[in-house]
Amino acid sequence: MLAFVAKPRYIQRMTASAPSFKKERRTAVVTGGTGFIGSHLVAALIESGWDVRCAVRPSSNLRWLDGLSIQPVTVDLSGSDGHALRKSLEGVSAVFHLAGVTSAATEAGYSHINVGGTKTVLEAVRAAAPDANLVFFSSIAAAGPGTGKRAIDETDPPRPISEYGRSKLAAERLVVQSGLKYSIVRPPPVYGPRDSGIFSLFRLVSYGLAPHVGSKWQHLSIVHVTDLVRGVIAAARPAATGVYYMTDGTSYTWEEIIQAISSAVGRVPRFIAVSPGIADAIAKIERFRGLVTGGKPMITPDRLLELSQNDWTCSDTRARLDLDYESRVSLADGISSTAAWYRANGWLAR
Protein backbone atom coordinates (compact mmCIF):
# COMPACT_ATOMS: atom_id res chain seq x y z
CA MET A 1 0.00 0.00 0.00
CA LEU A 2 1.30 3.46 -0.86
CA ALA A 3 1.13 6.04 1.92
CA PHE A 4 0.78 9.73 1.23
CA VAL A 5 3.30 11.73 3.24
CA ALA A 6 2.46 15.41 3.57
CA LYS A 7 5.22 17.97 3.31
CA PRO A 8 6.04 19.80 6.54
CA ARG A 9 4.50 23.27 6.49
CA TYR A 10 7.86 25.07 6.41
CA ILE A 11 8.83 23.11 3.26
CA GLN A 12 5.47 23.93 1.69
CA ARG A 13 6.03 27.63 2.40
CA MET A 14 9.58 27.50 0.98
CA THR A 15 8.38 25.71 -2.15
CA ALA A 16 5.60 28.22 -2.72
CA SER A 17 7.79 31.25 -2.24
CA ALA A 18 10.94 29.99 -3.98
CA PRO A 19 11.85 32.12 -7.00
CA SER A 20 11.87 30.43 -10.39
CA PHE A 21 15.15 30.78 -12.22
CA LYS A 22 14.98 30.73 -16.00
CA LYS A 23 17.96 28.96 -17.49
CA GLU A 24 19.86 31.28 -19.78
CA ARG A 25 19.81 30.07 -23.39
CA ARG A 26 23.15 29.55 -25.06
CA THR A 27 23.94 30.52 -28.61
CA ALA A 28 26.23 28.61 -30.97
CA VAL A 29 27.58 29.28 -34.44
CA VAL A 30 28.05 26.25 -36.68
CA THR A 31 30.05 26.27 -39.90
CA GLY A 32 29.34 23.36 -42.24
CA GLY A 33 25.87 22.97 -40.76
CA THR A 34 24.28 22.07 -44.10
CA GLY A 35 26.36 18.90 -44.47
CA PHE A 36 25.77 15.36 -43.29
CA ILE A 37 27.38 15.66 -39.85
CA GLY A 38 26.74 19.38 -39.45
CA SER A 39 22.99 19.08 -39.98
CA HIS A 40 22.78 16.35 -37.31
CA LEU A 41 24.79 18.58 -34.97
CA VAL A 42 22.48 21.55 -35.56
CA ALA A 43 19.40 19.43 -34.79
CA ALA A 44 21.02 18.04 -31.61
CA LEU A 45 22.01 21.52 -30.42
CA ILE A 46 18.47 22.82 -30.88
CA GLU A 47 17.06 19.79 -29.08
CA SER A 48 19.49 20.52 -26.22
CA GLY A 49 18.18 24.08 -25.88
CA TRP A 50 20.74 26.03 -27.88
CA ASP A 51 20.00 28.90 -30.23
CA VAL A 52 21.88 28.16 -33.45
CA ARG A 53 23.29 30.41 -36.14
CA CYS A 54 24.52 28.60 -39.25
CA ALA A 55 27.32 30.12 -41.30
CA VAL A 56 26.47 28.99 -44.83
CA ARG A 57 27.89 29.60 -48.27
CA PRO A 58 25.84 31.60 -50.80
CA SER A 59 25.39 28.38 -52.82
CA SER A 60 24.59 26.12 -49.83
CA ASN A 61 21.66 23.73 -50.06
CA LEU A 62 19.66 24.05 -46.82
CA ARG A 63 17.52 20.94 -47.38
CA TRP A 64 18.75 19.11 -44.26
CA LEU A 65 17.99 22.16 -42.12
CA ASP A 66 14.45 22.55 -43.40
CA GLY A 67 12.02 22.99 -40.52
CA LEU A 68 14.74 23.70 -37.94
CA SER A 69 14.71 26.97 -36.03
CA ILE A 70 18.04 28.41 -37.12
CA GLN A 71 19.45 31.76 -38.16
CA PRO A 72 21.39 31.33 -41.42
CA VAL A 73 24.25 33.75 -42.02
CA THR A 74 25.78 33.90 -45.50
CA VAL A 75 29.56 33.61 -45.16
CA ASP A 76 32.31 32.88 -47.68
CA LEU A 77 35.16 31.24 -45.77
CA SER A 78 37.27 31.20 -48.92
CA GLY A 79 37.26 35.00 -49.07
CA SER A 80 39.16 37.57 -47.05
CA ASP A 81 36.13 39.54 -45.81
CA GLY A 82 35.17 38.18 -42.41
CA HIS A 83 32.68 40.93 -41.50
CA ALA A 84 29.55 38.75 -41.81
CA LEU A 85 31.18 35.98 -39.82
CA ARG A 86 32.32 38.34 -37.06
CA LYS A 87 28.81 39.77 -36.87
CA SER A 88 27.31 36.29 -36.48
CA LEU A 89 29.65 35.56 -33.56
CA GLU A 90 28.46 38.36 -31.31
CA GLY A 91 27.25 36.98 -27.98
CA VAL A 92 27.89 33.30 -28.72
CA SER A 93 28.97 30.71 -26.17
CA ALA A 94 30.42 28.17 -28.58
CA VAL A 95 31.66 27.91 -32.15
CA PHE A 96 31.58 24.56 -33.97
CA HIS A 97 33.81 24.69 -37.04
CA LEU A 98 32.91 21.79 -39.33
CA ALA A 99 33.21 23.39 -42.77
CA GLY A 100 35.90 21.76 -44.85
CA VAL A 101 36.85 19.88 -47.99
CA THR A 102 37.21 16.09 -47.88
CA SER A 103 38.11 15.53 -51.54
CA ALA A 104 39.92 17.83 -53.96
CA ALA A 105 41.83 17.52 -57.20
CA THR A 106 44.85 19.49 -55.96
CA GLU A 107 46.76 20.18 -52.76
CA ALA A 108 45.67 23.81 -52.97
CA GLY A 109 42.06 22.66 -53.05
CA TYR A 110 42.45 21.18 -49.56
CA SER A 111 44.58 23.97 -48.14
CA HIS A 112 42.40 26.83 -49.34
CA ILE A 113 39.39 25.84 -47.24
CA ASN A 114 40.72 23.48 -44.58
CA VAL A 115 43.61 25.75 -43.61
CA GLY A 116 42.64 29.15 -45.01
CA GLY A 117 39.01 28.84 -43.94
CA THR A 118 40.05 27.82 -40.43
CA LYS A 119 42.34 30.85 -40.24
CA THR A 120 39.39 33.07 -41.21
CA VAL A 121 37.23 31.52 -38.48
CA LEU A 122 39.93 31.89 -35.82
CA GLU A 123 40.49 35.55 -36.67
CA ALA A 124 36.77 36.22 -36.46
CA VAL A 125 36.40 34.41 -33.12
CA ARG A 126 39.35 36.32 -31.63
CA ALA A 127 37.80 39.60 -32.76
CA ALA A 128 34.14 38.99 -31.89
CA ALA A 129 33.90 36.14 -29.35
CA PRO A 130 37.27 35.59 -27.63
CA ASP A 131 35.62 33.88 -24.64
CA ALA A 132 33.65 31.36 -26.70
CA ASN A 133 34.53 27.68 -26.64
CA LEU A 134 35.76 26.61 -30.08
CA VAL A 135 35.27 23.02 -31.23
CA PHE A 136 37.28 22.20 -34.34
CA PHE A 137 36.16 19.20 -36.37
CA SER A 138 39.21 17.36 -37.64
CA SER A 139 39.71 13.74 -38.74
CA ILE A 140 41.62 10.59 -37.92
CA ALA A 141 43.36 11.33 -41.24
CA ALA A 142 45.24 14.12 -39.44
CA ALA A 143 46.83 11.46 -37.21
CA GLY A 144 47.48 8.92 -39.92
CA PRO A 145 47.10 5.13 -39.73
CA GLY A 146 48.14 2.98 -36.81
CA THR A 147 50.81 0.32 -36.73
CA GLY A 148 48.42 -2.51 -35.88
CA LYS A 149 49.96 -3.04 -32.45
CA ARG A 150 47.27 -1.01 -30.65
CA ALA A 151 44.65 1.64 -31.37
CA ILE A 152 46.19 5.10 -31.64
CA ASP A 153 45.34 7.70 -29.02
CA GLU A 154 45.94 11.40 -28.35
CA THR A 155 49.51 10.80 -27.14
CA ASP A 156 50.70 9.41 -30.49
CA PRO A 157 52.54 11.85 -32.77
CA PRO A 158 50.50 12.53 -35.92
CA ARG A 159 51.79 11.09 -39.20
CA PRO A 160 49.22 11.92 -41.90
CA ILE A 161 49.80 10.24 -45.25
CA SER A 162 47.37 12.22 -47.45
CA GLU A 163 47.00 15.83 -48.53
CA TYR A 164 43.63 15.87 -46.79
CA GLY A 165 45.18 14.62 -43.54
CA ARG A 166 48.04 17.10 -43.76
CA SER A 167 45.64 19.98 -44.36
CA LYS A 168 43.55 19.02 -41.30
CA LEU A 169 46.68 18.74 -39.16
CA ALA A 170 47.86 22.16 -40.34
CA ALA A 171 44.45 23.57 -39.38
CA GLU A 172 44.67 21.86 -35.98
CA ARG A 173 47.99 23.60 -35.34
CA LEU A 174 46.45 26.97 -36.14
CA VAL A 175 43.74 26.23 -33.56
CA VAL A 176 46.30 25.25 -30.91
CA GLN A 177 48.30 28.42 -31.55
CA SER A 178 45.23 30.69 -31.58
CA GLY A 179 45.14 31.44 -27.85
CA LEU A 180 41.43 30.55 -27.81
CA LYS A 181 39.64 27.99 -25.64
CA TYR A 182 39.44 25.00 -27.93
CA SER A 183 38.76 21.30 -28.37
CA ILE A 184 39.68 19.24 -31.41
CA VAL A 185 37.59 16.20 -32.37
CA ARG A 186 39.20 13.56 -34.61
CA PRO A 187 36.52 11.08 -35.62
CA PRO A 188 37.10 7.89 -37.60
CA PRO A 189 34.72 7.20 -40.52
CA VAL A 190 31.22 8.48 -39.64
CA TYR A 191 28.01 6.96 -40.98
CA GLY A 192 24.28 7.43 -40.62
CA PRO A 193 21.23 8.92 -42.37
CA ARG A 194 22.04 11.52 -45.07
CA ASP A 195 25.59 10.29 -45.59
CA SER A 196 26.33 10.15 -49.30
CA GLY A 197 29.86 8.83 -48.75
CA ILE A 198 29.12 5.41 -47.29
CA PHE A 199 25.95 5.23 -49.38
CA SER A 200 27.99 4.18 -52.42
CA LEU A 201 29.10 1.13 -50.44
CA PHE A 202 25.50 0.29 -49.49
CA ARG A 203 24.51 0.55 -53.15
CA LEU A 204 27.36 -1.68 -54.34
CA VAL A 205 26.53 -4.32 -51.74
CA SER A 206 22.87 -4.15 -52.79
CA TYR A 207 24.12 -4.99 -56.30
CA GLY A 208 26.00 -7.98 -54.87
CA LEU A 209 29.48 -6.41 -55.01
CA ALA A 210 31.99 -5.64 -52.27
CA PRO A 211 35.14 -4.18 -53.82
CA HIS A 212 38.16 -3.52 -51.64
CA VAL A 213 41.58 -2.03 -52.25
CA GLY A 214 43.18 -3.05 -48.97
CA SER A 215 42.85 -6.31 -47.09
CA LYS A 216 39.45 -7.68 -46.08
CA TRP A 217 41.01 -7.92 -42.62
CA GLN A 218 41.88 -4.24 -42.48
CA HIS A 219 40.88 -2.97 -39.02
CA LEU A 220 38.78 0.16 -38.64
CA SER A 221 37.14 2.26 -35.99
CA ILE A 222 33.77 3.74 -36.91
CA VAL A 223 31.10 5.89 -35.26
CA HIS A 224 27.42 6.58 -35.83
CA VAL A 225 26.61 10.23 -36.38
CA THR A 226 24.20 10.53 -33.43
CA ASP A 227 26.86 9.28 -31.02
CA LEU A 228 29.42 11.62 -32.53
CA VAL A 229 27.35 14.80 -32.30
CA ARG A 230 26.64 14.17 -28.62
CA GLY A 231 30.38 13.96 -28.10
CA VAL A 232 31.01 17.09 -30.17
CA ILE A 233 28.55 19.05 -28.02
CA ALA A 234 30.24 17.74 -24.86
CA ALA A 235 33.57 18.95 -26.27
CA ALA A 236 32.21 22.53 -26.06
CA ARG A 237 32.26 22.44 -22.26
CA PRO A 238 34.60 25.06 -20.74
CA ALA A 239 36.69 22.34 -19.06
CA ALA A 240 37.24 20.40 -22.31
CA THR A 241 40.54 21.00 -24.07
CA GLY A 242 42.91 19.29 -26.45
CA VAL A 243 42.30 16.43 -28.87
CA TYR A 244 39.57 13.79 -28.58
CA TYR A 245 38.83 10.65 -30.56
CA MET A 246 35.23 9.39 -30.57
CA THR A 247 34.23 5.91 -31.76
CA ASP A 248 31.59 3.28 -31.06
CA GLY A 249 34.05 1.55 -28.75
CA THR A 250 34.82 -1.41 -31.03
CA SER A 251 37.17 -2.06 -33.93
CA TYR A 252 36.01 -4.01 -36.98
CA THR A 253 37.50 -5.68 -40.00
CA TRP A 254 36.41 -4.45 -43.41
CA GLU A 255 34.68 -7.80 -43.88
CA GLU A 256 32.64 -7.35 -40.68
CA ILE A 257 31.39 -3.96 -41.85
CA ILE A 258 30.44 -5.41 -45.23
CA GLN A 259 28.60 -8.26 -43.48
CA ALA A 260 26.60 -5.73 -41.43
CA ILE A 261 25.64 -3.87 -44.62
CA SER A 262 24.83 -7.18 -46.29
CA SER A 263 22.38 -8.06 -43.52
CA ALA A 264 20.78 -4.61 -43.74
CA VAL A 265 20.24 -4.65 -47.51
CA GLY A 266 19.40 -8.36 -47.77
CA ARG A 267 22.10 -9.27 -50.27
CA VAL A 268 25.23 -11.42 -49.88
CA PRO A 269 27.94 -9.71 -51.91
CA ARG A 270 30.95 -11.09 -53.71
CA PHE A 271 34.22 -9.69 -52.39
CA ILE A 272 36.30 -8.29 -55.23
CA ALA A 273 39.94 -7.33 -54.79
CA VAL A 274 40.69 -4.29 -56.95
CA SER A 275 44.27 -4.40 -58.20
CA PRO A 276 46.46 -1.38 -57.32
CA GLY A 277 47.00 -0.63 -61.02
CA ILE A 278 43.30 -0.48 -61.84
CA ALA A 279 42.52 1.49 -58.69
CA ASP A 280 45.27 4.00 -59.44
CA ALA A 281 44.03 4.48 -63.01
CA ILE A 282 40.49 5.13 -61.80
CA ALA A 283 41.73 7.61 -59.20
CA LYS A 284 43.80 9.53 -61.76
CA ILE A 285 40.83 9.71 -64.13
CA GLU A 286 38.65 11.02 -61.30
CA ARG A 287 41.23 13.60 -60.32
CA PHE A 288 41.49 14.76 -63.93
CA ARG A 289 37.70 15.02 -64.12
CA GLY A 290 37.77 17.16 -60.97
CA LEU A 291 40.41 19.45 -62.46
CA VAL A 292 38.43 19.90 -65.68
CA THR A 293 34.96 20.30 -64.18
CA GLY A 294 35.86 21.83 -60.83
CA GLY A 295 33.82 19.08 -59.18
CA LYS A 296 34.66 16.83 -56.25
CA PRO A 297 36.54 13.66 -57.29
CA MET A 298 34.90 10.48 -56.01
CA ILE A 299 38.34 9.02 -55.31
CA THR A 300 41.91 10.30 -55.56
CA PRO A 301 45.37 8.66 -55.41
CA ASP A 302 45.68 10.03 -51.87
CA ARG A 303 42.41 8.41 -50.87
CA LEU A 304 43.58 5.11 -52.34
CA LEU A 305 46.71 5.33 -50.20
CA GLU A 306 44.51 5.72 -47.12
CA LEU A 307 42.23 2.84 -48.14
CA SER A 308 45.21 0.51 -48.55
CA GLN A 309 46.40 0.91 -44.95
CA ASN A 310 45.82 -2.03 -42.64
CA ASP A 311 44.93 -0.18 -39.46
CA TRP A 312 42.70 2.85 -38.86
CA THR A 313 41.72 2.20 -35.25
CA CYS A 314 41.70 4.78 -32.46
CA SER A 315 40.93 4.80 -28.75
CA ASP A 316 38.26 7.10 -27.33
CA THR A 317 39.19 6.49 -23.68
CA ARG A 318 40.09 10.13 -23.10
CA ALA A 319 36.69 11.36 -24.35
CA ARG A 320 34.90 8.81 -22.17
CA LEU A 321 36.85 9.88 -19.07
CA ASP A 322 36.96 13.66 -19.63
CA LEU A 323 33.64 14.30 -21.36
CA ASP A 324 31.50 11.39 -20.17
CA TYR A 325 31.29 10.48 -23.84
CA GLU A 326 29.11 7.46 -24.42
CA SER A 327 28.44 5.45 -27.59
CA ARG A 328 24.95 4.01 -27.72
CA VAL A 329 24.50 2.84 -31.31
CA SER A 330 25.82 -0.62 -32.18
CA LEU A 331 27.15 -1.31 -35.66
CA ALA A 332 24.25 -3.65 -36.46
CA ASP A 333 21.58 -1.18 -35.32
CA GLY A 334 23.31 1.80 -36.92
CA ILE A 335 23.78 0.11 -40.29
CA SER A 336 20.21 -1.21 -40.23
CA SER A 337 18.68 2.19 -39.46
CA THR A 338 20.87 3.87 -42.07
CA ALA A 339 19.71 1.40 -44.73
CA ALA A 340 16.10 2.02 -43.67
CA TRP A 341 16.63 5.77 -44.12
CA TYR A 342 18.15 5.24 -47.57
CA ARG A 343 15.11 3.18 -48.57
CA ALA A 344 12.59 5.63 -47.11
CA ASN A 345 14.21 8.48 -49.02
CA GLY A 346 14.51 6.65 -52.32
CA TRP A 347 18.28 6.21 -52.26
CA LEU A 348 18.01 2.40 -52.12
CA ALA A 349 15.38 0.22 -53.74
CA ARG A 350 12.80 -1.11 -51.28
How do residues 7-20 score in pLDDT, each as one tens digit? 333 333 333 333 33
- CATH no. for residue 138? 3.40.50.720
Q: Is the pLDDT of residue 5 over 60?
A: no
* Residue 337's pLDDT band (cuts 50, 70, 90): very high
Q: What is the pLDDT of residue 197?
A: 87
Q: What is the pLDDT of residues 209-265, one digit of tens each?
A: 998 887 778 999 999 999 999 999 999 999 999 999 999 999 999 999 999 999 999
What pTM, to 2 d.p., does this model score?
A: 0.88
Three-state DSSP at 334 gives: helix
Nearest to 113, CA basis, from 127, 101, 128, 96: 101
Average pLDDT over residues 144-151: 93
Classify the C-alpha dihedral 273-278-279-285 as positive or negative: negative
Task: Give me the number of domains the chain comprises.
Answer: 1
| Residue 272 resides in a domain | no
| Residue 303 resides in a domain | no
Q: What is the pLDDT of residues 314-329, one digit of tens each?
A: 999 999 999 999 999 9
Greater model confidence, 197 or 241: 241
Q: What is the pLDDT of residue 285?
A: 72
Greater model confidence, 278 or 162: 162
Q: Is the pLDDT of residue 26 over 70?
A: yes
Q: What is the pLDDT of residue 11?
A: 32
Strand order across the 181-186 sheet: 70-74, 50-56, 26-31, 94-97, 133-137, 181-186, 242-245
| Residue 335 resides in a domain | no
Q: Is the pLDDT of residue 38 over 60?
A: yes
| Residue 132 resides in a domain | yes
Q: What is the pLDDT of residues 273-305, one digit of tens each?
A: 776 777 667 667 766 665 666 666 667 778 888
CA distance 330 to 194: 18
| Residue 203 resides in a domain | no
Cβ atoms within 10 Å, residue 94: 23
Residue 52 gets the label, from left (phi > 0), alpha (psi -120 to 50) or beta, of beta
| Residue 133 resides in a domain | yes
| Residue 308 resides in a domain | no
Q: What is the pLDDT of residue 19?
A: 38
| Residue 154 resides in a domain | yes
Q: Which domain holds residue 158?
A: 26-188+224-247+313-328
Kind of pairing between the strands at 242-245 and 181-186? parallel
